[in-house]
Amino acid sequence: MWKELAEKIREKTREGRSLSYQEGAVGITALLHCPLKWELSRRYEIDPQAVEIDDGFIWETQVKSALRDLFGEGFKEEYDLIAEFDGYKLHGHLDCFVEKEDEVIGIELKAPKVLLLKEPYEEGTLLEDDGRVIHNEVYLTQARIEKALLRRLFPEKEVKVYLFYKALCRHKNWSKKLYVVSEVKEPASEEEIKELLLRFHEDKSPRYPNECTSYCVFFKEGLCEGREFKQEVQEEQAGRFIELLKYYRTLEAELKTLEAQLKKTIKGHVVIGGKELGWVKQKVVEIDVSKLLELEPKAKEYLMVKPAKKREVIEKLGEQVIKGVEEKFVWRI
């Protein structure tokens, strides 16, 4: 019964959701992910399954119904945003569109699992973003492109675009479910959109390192073997990266201060959930490597050079000790 009930709920949330695209056009969200996903979605009907996705569809239905009551004929859903750049067609669907006499309003709806804030918010259930929201970069870029296309379509009117969230908002150990509205101030530039379109058609690689293994339903279903991620220099995103990095460093410093306080709070240890926490005594065994190799020559197969000593070993013994060299992507901040 329960499996059938969950499937029926999922079906209900997706009723009436069918988006069409102009021949040869690419969707806006497709530009921000691996191009193979777009190509495979044209060939296979596979919907990713997640409760968060179902919640997102329910959220869209609620907001669209409310906007229809408020604006009547002035409101349109899944509004077509169609444009062409250097021979490449782009076709987006704006979740909500409201047209007034002297302005147009675009609203992109999102219902993420968690929305991080730089500060808590206790003044009600609606947060009008004052700079405290940490946005998903894909959401932000999508909305910036939508604003640029709306400006193209309505050059004589003021154009406003908003991200409208329903999400569990968190800041450290504080959390609260909120409606959050954030105005997208800057549209994407024409050069940025052209670059995204050109890369979509010429580079069929993932757009971030773990896109295949963590986020692609086609990879999980065995319909795509995955592609290697290509590193790129993104000078235009340095400002955004530095902004988030500063916030990360602030939290990191606070955690170190808190850890220092924890160390001073207890002289021994406590047991929580079956785990010993605090000052836990443990036995540290040091192996005599020379003696080990003397007694068991095959032991060399299980030994490794300490990472901190690699440079010293190479400088002292040179190429003769190097077995191989490979390049890997590592995350460093």
Tokens describing residue 318:
């040179």
Q: Quick one: pLDDT at residue 287?
A: 82
Question: Measured between alpha carbons, how far is 217 from 209 in angstroms, rounded to an integer?
Answer: 16
Pairing status of strand 25-26 against strand 114-117: unpaired
Q: What is the maximum alpha-carbon separation in the chain?
A: 88
Q: Quick one: pLDDT at residue 232?
A: 62
What is the pTM assigned to this prediction?
Answer: 0.75
Q: Quick one: pLDDT at residue 214?
A: 83
**Radius of gyration of the chain, Cα coordinates, nearest whole angstrom:** 26
Q: Quick one: pLDDT at residue 303?
A: 78
Q: Quick one: pLDDT at residue 128?
A: 96
Beta bridge partners of 161: 106
Question: Measured between alpha carbons, how far is 48 from 53 in angstroms, rounded to an integer?
Answer: 8
Where do we find the tokens 């640029």? 148
Question: Measured between alpha carbons, how far is 124 from 293 in angstroms, rounded to an integer?
Answer: 68
The pLDDT profile of the chain, 333 residues, written as one tens digit per residue, is 778 878 887 777 777 667 788 888 899 999 999 999 888 888 887 777 777 778 888 889 999 999 999 999 999 999 999 999 999 999 999 999 999 999 999 999 999 999 999 999 999 999 999 999 999 989 999 999 999 999 999 999 999 999 999 999 999 889 999 999 999 999 999 999 999 999 999 988 888 878 888 888 888 888 888 888 776 655 555 777 777 888 888 888 888 888 888 887 888 888 888 888 888 888 888 888 788 887 887 877 777 888 888 888 888 887 887 877 877 767 777
The DSSP element (H or E) to which 253 belongs, if any, is: helix 238-265
